[in-house]
């Protein structure tokens, strides 16, 4: 059973990984099926399955039900430019990125009122339970989902105004700064925090990634005169994006 003090499924996974690294199994190639692995390596169905699972967890291969297990092309991480807000031009992180990469993107957005949780309240400088407008975004690039975002705005600020819904009304999709300007609020301060954590099953599923893989989370807060007017989390797959900043030197 054991072979060099290594579980059987790891031994099989190592061998397949070597073949991928050596180019013997190039991108988009199909791996031997579970049944073939069972024969070739003289192992059980479970071991063949576990070995494939290891490679899938590593993001090297991708299983397609009914078809086969395929080598994933290793993609070069793209840049998510966060060079600060530019008054003229696209404003959301995604629209910025479009401008940078000349990639045509689409997105869906759903807004809903809710009561602020403790963390949201903390970030917006309001009390837990205060009402906020939560908007969930799903951004696509070339049809593929690439970025999730959730924004929160205090209804104490936007409630019963034309800009209450970020993606509707006269300034739909124009960005936080423009919309707040319509309320005579001058956004003069942005903080962003970049973190990485294992992606939740839901997030990874939506982004077409591998369960357990890391996501980058950019937590952004817009402020007007010290008062938070919007806060948002942007979630992308860590293996697909780097977050780029251009900083001033004072």
Footprint of its own copies on 179-198 (CB under 8 A): 187-198
**Residue 129 in contact with residue 118, Cβ under 8 Å?**
no
Q: How far is the CB of 70 from DNA (least distance, A)?
A: 9
Interaction of residue 35 with DNA, rule CB under 7 A: yes
Min. distance of Cβ 49 from its own copies in angstroms? 11
Only one of the segments 32-40, 131-139, 161-169, 233-241 lies at the binding site for its own copies (rule: CB under 8 A); that segment is 233-241
Q: How far, in Å, CA of 223 to CA of 85, rounded?
A: 12
Handedness of CA 198, 59, 216, 95 (dihedral sign): negative
CA of residue 100 relative to chain centroid, distance: 18
Shortest reach from residue 4's CB to DNA, in Å: 11
Of the pair 41, 241, the CB lying nearest its own copies is at 241
Instruction: Identify the CA nearest to 32 among candidates 68, 7, 84, 72.
Output: 68
User: Are residues 1 and 10 in contact, defined by beta-carbon separation less than 8 angstroms?
Assistant: no
Return the number of other C-beta atoms located less than 10 Å from residue 20's C-beta: 21
Candidate list 39, 200, 208, 225; residue touching its own copies; CB under 8 A? 200
Rounded to whole angstroms, how far apart are CA atoms 130 and 123? 13
Question: Using CB under 7 A, which of the segments 33-41, 100-108, 162-170, 192-200 binds DNA?
Answer: 33-41
Q: Which of 29, 34, 90, 173 binds DNA (CB under 7 A)?
A: 34
What x/- string results for residues 114 through 143 when contact with DNA is judged by CB under 7 A?
Answer: ------------------------------
x-or-dash string of contact with DNA, 42-81, rule CB under 7 A: -xxxxx-xx-x---x------xxxxxxx------------
**Nearest Cα residue to 207 out of 243, 235, 242, 244:** 235
H-helix or E-strand containing 110? strand 105-115
DSSP string, 217-232: EEEEEEEETTEEEEEE
Binding site for its own copies (CB under 8 A): 10, 13, 54, 57-59, 77, 79, 82-87, 177, 187-201, 211-212, 214, 216, 219, 238-239, 241-250
Binding site for DNA (CB under 7 A): 1-2, 6-10, 31, 33-36, 43-47, 49-50, 52, 56, 63-69
């Amino acid at each position: 059973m054991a072979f060099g003090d290594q579980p059987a499924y790891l031994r099989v996974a190592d061998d397949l990984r070597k073949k991928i690294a050596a180019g013997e199994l190039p991108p988009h190639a199909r791996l031997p099926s579970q049944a073939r692995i069972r024969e070739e390596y003289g192992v059980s169905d479970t071991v063949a399955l576990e070995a494939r699972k290891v490679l899938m967890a590593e993001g090297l291969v991708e299983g397609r039900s009914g078809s086969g297990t395929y080598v994933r092309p290793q993609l070069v991480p793209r840049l998510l430019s966060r060079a600060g807000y530019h008054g003229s031009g696209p404003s959301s992180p995604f629209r910025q990125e479009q401008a940078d990469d000349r990639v045509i993107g689409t997105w869906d957005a759903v807004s809903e009122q809710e009561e602020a949780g403790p963390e949201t309240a903390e970030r917006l400088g309001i009390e837990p339970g205060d009402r906020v407008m939560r908007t969930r975004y799903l951004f696509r690039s070339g049809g593929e989902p690439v970025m999730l975002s959730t924004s929160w705005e205090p209804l104490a600020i936007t409630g019963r105004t034309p800009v209450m819904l970020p993606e509707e009304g006269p300034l739909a999709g124009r960005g936080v700064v423009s919309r707040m300007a319509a309320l005579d609020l001058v956004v003069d301060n942005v903080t962003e925090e970049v973190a990485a954590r294992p992606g939740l099953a839901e997030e990874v599923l939506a982004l077409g990634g591998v369960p357990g893989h890391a996501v980058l989370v950019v937590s952004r807060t817009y402020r007007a005169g010290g008062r938070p007017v919007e806060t948002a989390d942007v979630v992308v797959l860590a293996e697909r994006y780097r977050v780029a900043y251009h900083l001033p030197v004072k």
